[in-house]
Homo-oligomer: A and B are copies of this chain.
Amino acid sequence: MLDGQKILDMHAHTYAPPELYAYKSGLLSSRGYHGKGNPGVSDERLEEATQRGLKIMDSVGTDMQFLSPRPFQLMHSEKPASIVHYWNEVNNDIIGRVVKAHPDRYAGICGLPHVSGEKDSAHVVAELERCVKELGFIGVMINPDPGEGDEYTPALDDEYWYPLYEAMVKNKVPALIHSAACKDMRESYSAHFITTESQVVLNLLKPESKVFKDFPDLRIIVAHGGGSVPYQIGRWRAARFNRMKGDPNLENFDTSLKRLFYDAVLYNKESLSLLFELVGTDRCMFGTENPGSGTATDPDTGLQLDDTAPVIKSIEWLSDQDIKNVFEDTQKRAFPLLKV
């Protein structure tokens, strides 16, 4: 392994005391009738929670986490819009306080106040700029389905998203694609993550999409290893090969896949290996959500599933540079504002 390599976990979420979520519960009940109010998370209570988080990081050897709001809590589909804005700001502020207190251990990725039913994404730009300019954040998190399970928001290749893309390019911040809750009763929020990530990959890369022509510097990171796409790559390769017969200038699907970045939030060696093999380690970044979806102990092995650094290192065919890519170098390329 290369010397001096850092372990940057780019997919982690706020680890806050219950006061934060009690505040959210109140917003939902009052629908904002009492105004934004104050979430009542004191510095002491926040630092207590942060220390628990740092202890986890130390226990698995993580140098730094990129913190974003806990996605399934973001309630983008709720009305009125004011409570979505209040809640999102409060989440970013909490992250800002943690980052300010521990700048060597955390970097900030802001949530965006997506509101379902808007005519375009311009309504999230002000918060992006506040977080980058005032709080020093290095990335944003996009929920491609602010309706949380409805069908109303256009796909990510639609011009609906262009105001946000312009702001991202201008401010040099990449976006982590990560949906929030899901109100479709056939799909849990967790399964909805995978579904929406798959949709994002396929919609951004389809032949009709002009996104990367219009925004060549746009950086998109697809969470959870790209949803289902790497595993199902055969059907997308075939579809593309057939389209290429009519349009020889089309690039093949494997080339398209490399226009995106992916995190490595998968909790088993076989899938991690498949991801690295199909998209390349220079498009992949270490991520764990720890503590989060993978925080569980296998009763048979006693291993914690989201302690994946050793798993990654155990993949035989990865070179030292591959490993450095995953833990550090891809992060640095994807996040121009990152200071490590």
Residues of chain A having any CB pair with chain B under 8 Å? 17-22, 24-26, 28-31, 33-35, 37-38, 40, 72-73, 75, 79-80, 145, 149, 151, 153-155, 180-191, 194-195, 198-199, 202-203, 207-208, 224-225, 227-228, 230-235, 237-239, 241-244, 246, 252, 266-268, 270-271, 273-274, 277-278, 293-299, 305-306
Contacts and interface: CB of A to CB of B under 8 A. Distances in A.
A242 B267 CA distance: 15
7 contacts: A29-B73, A31-B189, A33-B188, A186-B203, A195-B195, A232-B266, A238-B294
Given A75-B28, A194-B198, A274-B274, A294 B234 contact: yes
A20 B22 contact: yes
B271 A231 contact: yes
A47 to B, nearest CB: 17
A289 to B, nearest CB: 9
B18 A305 contact: no
Given A235-B293, A238-B305, 18 more contacts: A18-B18, A28-B181, A29-B180, A30-B189, A31-B189, A33-B190, A35-B243, A79-B185, A145-B186, A194-B228, A228-B232, A232-B266, A235-B267, A237-B296, A239-B293, A241-B296, A241-B299, A270-B274
A203 B186 CA distance: 7
Q: Quick one: copies of this chain in the complex?
A: 6
Closest 7 CB pairs of A and B: A234-B267, A228-B228, A18-B22, A231-B231, A21-B22, A21-B25, A238-B296
A102 to B, nearest CB: 23
B296 A242 contact: yes
A267 B278 CA distance: 13
Contacts of A266: 231-232, 234
A305 B185 contact: no
A247 to B, nearest CB: 9
A202 B188 contact: yes
Contacts of A181: 28-31
A38 B18 CA distance: 14
A73 B25 contact: yes
Contact of A34 (B18, B242, B294, B305): B242
A164 to B, nearest CB: 17
A88 to B, nearest CB: 14
B271 A232 contact: yes
A242 to B, nearest CB: 5
A26 B189 CA distance: 11
B185 A33 contact: no
A265 to B, nearest CB: 8
Nearest to A273: B270
A66 to B, nearest CB: 19
A229 to B, nearest CB: 9
Contact of A195 (B75, B151, B198, B239): B198
A277 B269 CA distance: 12
B241 A198 contact: no
